[in-house]
Amino acid sequence: MISTASTLRLLPCAEEHIPRIRAILEHYVLNTVITFSLVPPTEEDVFQNWKAVLDQRLPFIVAVGDEDQVLGFTYATGFRSARKGYRHTVELSLFCHPDHTAKGIGRRLLTTLIDVLRSPEKFPEYVDKPRSDDDKVRMVLACMAVDESGWENGLGLRDFYVSHGFEEVGHLKRVGHKFDTWIDTRYLQLCLW
Ligand SMILES: CC(C)(COP(=O)(O)OP(=O)(O)OC[C@H]1O[C@@H](n2cnc3c(N)ncnc32)[C@H](O)[C@@H]1OP(=O)(O)O)[C@@H](O)C(=O)NCCC(=O)NCCS
């Protein structure tokens, strides 16, 4: 049975979700320019990334439908986190299963991710030990490739983020190269406090 947004449940990512997350990423790596990865991740790569997100006290959220299939996921990671001056800034990732786009799942995931980042103390299921004031998340970045074959020549995604309160703050031209095409990236930013 095909799940709809109304039967959807959002959950903290668990180890059992890793294979399905990997399969979603494999689809986007092999078939689209929205990620600049050229080689799909292994399950170990996805597992380590999930652990790194939790270690940073950030949320990793999955959307599951009937029979617990993963229909989408979102998470935040520290932006340039090796440099501590960036500690209040995170970058988000958001992917829906290719058979389950444009059903409201991405909107629910992104809304929840922002709510959790803004008030982690209200969501212990996603962040068991919130960050202190010294490294509390303030800025959320969405860094997107412009897939000109996509929705509104790739700018539908930019407008989707704007509808969630993000402001477009940057545009790099032809910085990506995949499938014999030069690809732009656009940067959006949401200030939480
Ligand atoms: C981008 C993405 C997360 C959006 O999630 P989604 O579940 O498909 O989108 P939703 O159904 O929540 O729709 C949100 C809005 O975008 C519109 N929309 C979404 N996909 C659309 C499409 N292909 N064409 C036209 N409009 C679309 C919806 O109509 C909706 O608008 P509304 O709220 O004004 O009605 C999802 O399509 C996806 O995973 N895409 C591929 C991966 C990707 O690009 N990730 C972002 C990397 S930066």
Q: Provide the CATH number for the domain around residue 104.
A: 3.40.630.30
Q: Which atom from ligand 1 is nearest to the alpha carbon of 108? A: 12
Give average pLDDT by consecutive 10-residue segment, the chain, 193 residues: 69 98 98 98 98 98 94 98 97 98 97 98 98 97 96 96 98 98 98 98
150 lines ligand 1 (CB under 6 A): no
Minimum CA distance residue for ligand 1 atom 46: 94
For residue 15, what are its two tokens? Answer: 């180890």
Identify whether 29 is part of a domain.
yes
pLDDT reported for residue 119? 98
Write down the pTM of the prediction: 0.96
166 lines ligand 1 (CB under 6 A): no
Q: What does the DSSP assignment read for 132-174?
A: PTTT---EEEEEEE--TTSGGGGHHHHHHHHTTT-EEEEEEEE
Mean pLDDT computed over every residue of the chain: 96
d(CA 114, CA 73): 13
Q: Quick: pLDDT tens for 127-157.
A: 999 999 999 999 999 999 999 999 999 999 9
Identify whether 26 is part of a domain.
yes
pLDDT reported for residue 67? 85
Identify whether 2 is part of a domain.
no
Identify whether 3 is part of a domain.
no
Identify whether 169 is part of a domain.
yes
Domain that holds residue 56: 9-191
d(CA 31, CA 42): 17
At residue 41, φ and ψ (nearest 5 deg) are -75, 155
98 lines ligand 1 (CB under 6 A): no
Q: Tokens 């039967």 appear where?
A: 7
Identify whether 1 is part of a domain.
no
pLDDT reported for residue 1? 42
101 lines ligand 1 (CB under 6 A): yes
44 close to 21: Cβ distance less than 8 angstroms: no
How many folded domains does the chain comprise? 1
